[in-house]
Structure 1
């Protein structure tokens, strides 16, 4: 009679939350109580398996979609609920029913296992055989060795089909040893692996929970109109009265807390400046009105340093000379500050080290025959003491140079440096140029000498940076135009320079405070712990 169902298209509802299986009946095994389907569709999705085998114990409901062989089974699929929402509701009901059924079976198997221990020799028959009315004598053999794990585990075999593996796990138990009876719900197995919440969940249990969770989260049908509608953030934000909500929250606070909140620091909006404003520059140097220059400078720490006129600074140096700070002492301090700046520009300790002696730094000093030129020669001598190769270029004059310049040239001749008057004999590779050709006398004949023009032309073709050593103010403009310098070095107080002249640095001369007061200057040193500081034009 079972052969009459072969070829029919059926829909089978399976226990354990697995849903529906639809397909064509290939065979029905009455002895093993199994059903084999081909052309299988699981919950509306075709399976890649050619066939699956389902046990009668796992079937909750069975519907015949069409009768007769070679019938198109797709015509009956419309009768099966396959939508996401319906499938979700069905699976939730299946899970609830599965939990109740497994809990009841676990309690029954536990009671049977206890009674079997009391009777000791009483055989325990398979619960599946009693529910499916298996009358075969071979199927009613007792499960000997119920308490022996080795013997029981030795009779475990792989499942015969993929459908059984999905529904019951990867193994079956052969109770007779040879008949191949599939004991899916053995009392011993359910006692050990039943609905026990204290045991570690298997991969199959975790997979089912993940699958139910995903279907609960993503099983709701998608509303296309809702997706295509753009969310209006501004309109939604306008519905929220932030100020009213804060006032309501403040009204619920005690009076003491509300008063403390009012005294708290100001809260800034997103378009307000939360950074503190720059401190107002502090003026610690006051000049007489007749000696103040046109430019006001500021240090990195915010101190104001006014520029002075050349006449006032000359009076300051003359007064310092009278107080004992001679010109030679002043030249040493100016040369020391210039040497520190030049050593930094040519590479510092990375360039001037014993392992780098094969590429010695070369500095050319263009020195006039005056106080500024003597400062340049003093700087060259101090650079020679640091291992820097220097060359001094002086103008060719028959007249005897000033005594201060002669003394500096005599000291420099004791070093390994060289002196020349021809710019064409200078080395082709130069690291830095020190420009000490200009003095503060606007009528000086040095600027009209051909030597001045030749050295300017040579320095313009050389790509080395230029350091101007105490040049005159370029306000008003000088003629001819001076060399563009990277930085300008001034002693004690700066002169007025335009921004195009170069960055201004100030060298500290140890002039006593009484000397400043003697020329009507109120002076507080702005140097701090440094010998040379940068100055910036004050905005």
Structure 2
């Protein structure tokens, strides 16, 4: 009789996929070959469902842990025989069905089960996943033996009714908005205007909105650099700081004072080369152009240099560009007399293996990516009249490539090379009327050096070494 098994505690092994279930038999349906467990445990963890129903085709092994009926009376041996017959039936390889006892029509098994676990066909894997989703996986892996549970901690108090809806309106009614707004410094209204700013005679401390600054901000001083002879050409940064220009004589005194403090010409050349090459790399496209996957499209840069300090700055820039994978062509004519700084920089540049030419005829006839002009000299403006200078300037103007001029000559004379960008060093020099975009480079001059030549200085560079300058 099916009622003989009701109330018995059994362990059902459903294989590696579904795992092991334990619980009290609540119903047995002989015709449908199903068995239902109430208050089940899955792999040692309490199931969230009050009842689970199994089909005989899914049962690998069925064991009785506690037979609650008279069929297991002492001395009869009937319980052991029944368990053996259940285990033997579950292990049959042909039908894989458990011979469940006959259940009469008036038995408890007529109650519809809550959940029925069915084995999906072998060709469908999604059905099996949907079956597994009905139960929560536990820590037991691969259908291993169920873990021992501490009934004192986990065995009681788990049958609470979780279907009751939470009373949000009743809970919200317990919240006293007026009292809370009063504590926050408001007037007790619900309009949301609880903030006030300490009106005269109001004993309450001032409060502020989330977007208000509670610290008193000092006014911003935009003129943080002053020169001994104001009134010259002025520029401003992106943040509005005023950067005045300085005459060339004052700029020359500033560099001389920097050398006395230890900022030698070699260190200035290196700093100028690094900053100007970084600016050139940005103009060439930066990481969008110079990548390991773009080796067949390396940018080409031509540097036009003279036999002076400005030319040495250009050679230093050429060396750094070559070190970063740029195709560099250095134009430097063969002079009878060349400054020692230029000779040292050329020797370093030769270690990169990049190209160096002494004649304009050896320069590319097709447009290049960028031309860097370092032909001008502050000390000797008569170089413009020499043939090599004019030939190089004509080539630059006819190449149709954008031009970057580093530390160009001051004054209002007509420029031999029309530059799209101008890079000034330290402080800008007075520049002629031009459409060029002006940038300023930090060459590392300390603040005390500026003070020595009468310049009150506060760095406008912020987190950068090259910044754009705009005309007011």
Counterpart for residue 392 of structure 2: 455
Q: TM-score, normalised by structure 1?
A: 0.46
Which residue number corresponds to residue 356 of structure 2?
Answer: 419
The answer as to whether partners of 1:384 and 1:417 remain within 8 angstroms in 2 is yes
Q: Does the aligned pair in 1 maintain the 2:273–2:314 contact within 8 Å?
A: yes
**Cα deviation, residue 507, structure 1:** 0.6
Alpha-carbon distance between aligned partners in 2 of 1:347 and 1:422, rounded to the nearest angstrom: 29
Alignment-derived partner of residue 444 in structure 1? 381
Output the CA distance in 1 between the equivalents of 2:221 and 2:368.
40
Say whether the 8 Å CA contact 1:490–1:505 is kept in structure 2: yes
In structure 1, the residue matched to 2:413 is 477
2:345 partner SS: helix
Equivalent in the alignment of 1:333: 271
Report if the CA contact (8 A) 1:469-1:490 is conserved. Answer: yes
Match of 1:352 in 2: 290
Aligned to 2:445: 511
Please report how far the alpha carbon of residue 293 of structure 1 lies from its aligned counterpart in structure 2 after TM superposition: 6.5
* Alpha carbons 2:413, 2:432 under 8 Å: kept: no
**Deviation digits for residues 72-98 of structure 1, max 9, x if unmatched?**
xxxxxxxxxxxxxxxxxxxxxxxxxxx
Would you say the 8 A contact 2:439–2:468 is kept in 1?
yes
Q: Which runs of 5+ in 2 are unaligned?
A: 1-192, 200-218
Q: Any idea what SS the aligned residue of 2:263 has?
A: coil
Could you list the per-position Cα deviations for residues 249-268 of structure 1 after superposition, in whole angstroms to 9, with x for gaps in the alignment?
Answer: xxxxxxxx9xx9xx9xxxxx
Give the match for residue 224 of structure 2: 284
1:147 aligned partner: none
Deviations 1:179-234 (A, max 9, x none): xxxxxxxxxxxxxxxxxxxxxxxxxxxxxxxxxxxxxxxxxxxxxxxxxxxxxxxx
Partner of 2:409, secondary structure, is coil
Deviation at 1:445, TM superposition (A): 3.4
CA distance in 2, matches of 1:280, 1:307: 21
- Deviation, 1:281, is 6.8
Residues 92-491 of structure 1: pairs in structure 2 closer than 5 A: 282-289=222-229, 292=230, 294-399=232-337, 401-427=338-364, 428-441=366-379, 443-474=380-411, 476-478=412-414, 481-491=415-425
Q: Runs in 1 of length 4+ with deviation above 3 angstroms? A: none
Q: Quote the Cα distance in structure 1 between the aligned partners of 2:327 and 2:433.
A: 31
Aligned-pair CA distance for 1:280: 8.2
Could you say if the C-alpha distance between residues 423 and 320 of structure 1 is closer, same or farther in structure 2, counting changes exceeding 3 Å?
A: same
Structure having the larger proportion of residues in helix: 1
Counterparts of 1:534 and 1:287, CA distance in 2: 20
**Partner of 1:407: helix, strand, or coil?**
helix
Q: Distance in 1 between matches of 2:228 and 2:278?
A: 32
Please, which of 429, 437, 457 is the counterpart of residue 523 of structure 1? 457
Question: What value does the CA root-mean-square deviation take over the aligned residues?
Answer: 1.9
Distance 1:287 1:362 in 2: 40
Instruction: Give 1:46-61 correspondences, 5 Å limit.
Output: none
- Cα distance in 2 for partners of 1:493, 1:462 equals 30
For the Cα contact (< 8 Å) 2:315–2:349, is it kept in 1?
A: yes
Distance change (3 Å), C-alpha of 1:311 and 1:422: same
Hey, what's the Cα distance between the residues in 1 that align with 2:444 and 2:246?
Answer: 18
Deviations 1:508-536 (A, max 9, x none): 12211111111111100000001100000
Q: Is the 8 A contact 1:281 1:302 kept in 2?
A: no
Structure 1: how far apart are the matches of 2:264 and 2:293?
Answer: 40
Q: Aligned to 2:267, what secondary structure does the other structure show?
A: helix
* Unaligned residue ranges in structure 1 (runs of 5+): 1-256, 264-278
Aligned length: 256
Alpha-carbon distance, 1:501 to partner: 5.0
Distance 1:510 1:365 in 2: 24
Aligned equivalents of 1:293, 1:361: Cα separation in 2: 42
